[in-house]
Amino acid sequence: MAETVWILRHRRVSKLPNVRRDRESIIMIGFFASEQAARDAIARHRDGEGFIDYPDGWDIRELPMDVLLDEPVAY
């Protein structure tokens, strides 16, 4: 069985005046050995500048290590 890596990222969408499309920003926060470690990182950063205004932007994904994915994962 392959080991797992947990990927933590934060996404925010900024509304720009006089622009048709919103601006999306995705920040890779880190790679963790457990889901709990990723959640602990959220707890440490959620009140920080750039994160506090986008509390729903957190995303944790579980991916197997040393496995070729059938479908590439876009980040």
Asked whether the beta carbons of 10 and 24 are under 8 A apart, the reply is no
* pLDDT score at 13: 81
* pLDDT score at 71: 75
Determine the Cα–Cα distance for residues 64 and 52; give it in Å rounded to an integer: 30
Question: Which residues, 6 or more positions from 62, have their beta carbon under 8 angstroms from its beta carbon?
Answer: 4, 5, 6, 7, 35
- Stated pTM of the model: 0.76
Q: pLDDT, tens digit, for every residue of 30-71?
A: 999 999 999 999 999 999 988 998 999 999 999 888 877 777
Nearest to 38 by CA among 65, 72, 63: 63
